[in-house]
Amino acid sequence: MTHVRKQALKETLKRTGNKARDLASSTSDAVAAGVDRLLDKRICLGVTGFSGSGKTTLITSLIHQLRYYPDAALTALPPALQDRLLGVEISPLKDLPLFPYQDGVNALNREAWPSATRQESGCLLEIKYRARSHLIPGKKPGIGHLYLEIHDYPGEWLLDLPLLNMTYEDWCQQSRKLAATLSDDPFIDLLKALDPLEPLSEWTLSSLWQQQLEFLRRCQQKGLTMIQPGRLLHIAPDSPESGFPFIPLPQLAALSEEEKSGAPDNALFRVCDKHYQHYLNEWVKPFYKNTFQRIDRQLVLVDVLRSLNQGQEAMENLKLSLTQVLQNFEYGTNNMIRRLIQPRIGRIVFAASKIDQVLPDQHEQVRSLTASLVRESQRQATFKEVDIRCEAIASVRSTTYADHQGQKVLKGNTEDGPGLLLHPPLPEQYPDNEYWQNCKQWQLRNLLPPAGLKLNNGSRLPHIRLDSVLNDLLGDKFQ
Q: How confident is the model at residue 384 (pLDDT cuts 50, 70, 90)?
A: low
Q: To which H or E segment does residue 400 belong?
A: strand 399-404
Q: Phi/psi class of residue 37: alpha, beta or left (left: φ > 0; alpha: ψ in -120 to 50)?
A: alpha
pLDDT by residue (tens digit) across 366-381?
999 998 888 766 666 5
Work out the average pLDDT over 9-20. 53
Q: How confident is the model at residue 422 (pLDDT cuts 50, 70, 90)?
A: confident
Q: Taking 70 as the threshold, does the pLDDT of residue 16 lie above it? A: no
Residue 250 CA to residue 176 CA, distance in Å, equals 5
Question: For residue 341, is pLDDT > 70?
Answer: no
The answer to whether residue 417 scores a pLDDT higher than 80 is yes
Q: What is the pLDDT of residue 209?
A: 94
* Mean pLDDT taken over the chain: 83
Domains within the chain, CATH numbers bracketed? 38-155+292-477 (3.40.50), 161-290 (no CATH)
What digits encode the pLDDT tens for the residues 32-75? 444 444 445 889 998 888 878 899 999 999 999 999 999 898 99
Q: Give me the pLDDT at residue 225, please.
A: 82
- DSSP calls for 74-110: -TTSHHHHTT-EEEEEEEPPTTSPBP-HHHHHHHHHT
Angstrom distance (rounded) from CA 248 to CA 400: 47
Q: What is the pLDDT of residues 237-273, one digit of tens each?
A: 788 888 999 999 988 988 999 999 999 999 999 999 9
Rounded (5°) CA angle 205-208-209? 85
DSSP for 127-162? Answer: EEEEPPPPSSTTPPP-EEEEEEEEEE--HHHHTTGG
At 265-298, the pLDDT tens digits run 999 999 999 999 999 999 999 988 887 677 888 8
Using alpha carbons, list the distances in angstroms from residue 122 to 38, 44, 60, 147, 261: 21, 11, 11, 13, 46
Query: To the nearest whole percent, how much of the chain has pLDDT over 70?
Result: 82
Phi, psi dihedral angles at 3 (to 5 degrees)? -60, -40
Average pLDDT over residues 448-456: 91
Nearest-angstrom CA–CA distance, 119 and 138: 51
Q: Residues 151-208: pLDDT tens digits?
A: 888 888 888 888 988 999 999 988 877 667 676 789 988 998 999 999 999 999 999 9
Name the band, by pLDDT with cuts 50, 70 and 90, for residue 146.
very high
Residue with the larger pLDDT of the pair 220 and 22: 220
245 phi/psi in degrees, rounded to 5: -70, 140
Q: How far is CA 145 from CA 40, 84, 470, in A?
A: 11, 12, 16
CA distances from 189 to 198, 203, 208, 218, 404 (A): 17, 19, 12, 15, 50
- Report the pLDDT value the prediction gives residue 266, as an integer from 0 to 100: 95
Q: What is the pLDDT of residue 383?
A: 59
* Number of neighbours of residue 332 by Cβ within 10 angstroms: 16
Distance of CA 432 to the CA centre of its chain: 29
Q: Among 107-121, 130-144, 405-419, whose mean pLDDT is lowest?
A: 130-144
Q: What backbone phi and psi angles, to 5 degrees, belong to 419? A: -170, 170
> How are strands ordered across the β-sheet holding 417-421?
399-404, 407-414, 417-421
In this prediction, residue 340 carries a pLDDT of 41
Label residue 439 exposed, middle or buried (CB < 10 Å: 0-12, 13-18, 19+).
Answer: middle
What does the chain come to in residues?
479
Answer with the residue of higher pLDDT: 145 or 11: 145
Is residue 429's pLDDT more than 50?
yes
402 forms beta bridges with: 409
406: left (phi over 0), alpha (psi -120 to 50) or beta: left
Asked if residue 222 has pLDDT above 50, the reply is yes
Report residue 116's pLDDT band, with 50, 70 and 90 as the boundaries. Answer: confident
* CA 99 – CA 117 distance, rounded (Å): 10
The CA-based dihedral angle spanning residues 97, 284, 51, 180, taken in that order and rounded to the nearest 10 degrees: 160
Q: Residue 223 has what pLDDT? A: 78
What percent of the chain has a predicted confidence (pLDDT) above 90?
Answer: 42
Query: CB neighbours (10 Å) of residue 296?
Result: 22
With 60 as the cut, is the pLDDT of residue 1 above it? no
For residue 13, what pLDDT is reported?
52
Mean pLDDT over 302-330 rounds to 82
Q: Pairing relation of β-strands 143-152 and 297-302? A: unpaired
Tell me how far CA of residue 237 lies from CA of 167, 209, 215, in angstroms.
25, 10, 14
Give dist(CA 75, CA 85) in Å, integer.
13
- Give the model's pLDDT for residue 267: 95
CA distances from 158 to 54, 162, 165 (A): 15, 8, 14
Instruction: Please tell me the predicted confidence (pLDDT) of residue 359.
Output: 94
Q: Measuring CA to CA, how many Å separate 68 from each of 73, 136, 367?
A: 10, 32, 28
| Band of pLDDT at residue 338, cut at 50, 70 and 90 | very low
**Mean pLDDT computed over 318-340:** 62
The pLDDT score that the predictor gives to residue 39 is 42
- Write down the pLDDT at residue 76: 94
Q: Give the C-alpha separation, 320 to 373, whole Å.
A: 9
The reported pLDDT for the residue numbered 109 is: 94
Query: What local confidence, expressed as pLDDT, does residue 2 receive?
Result: 54
What's the pLDDT score for residue 169?
94
- 145 or 12, which is more confident: 145
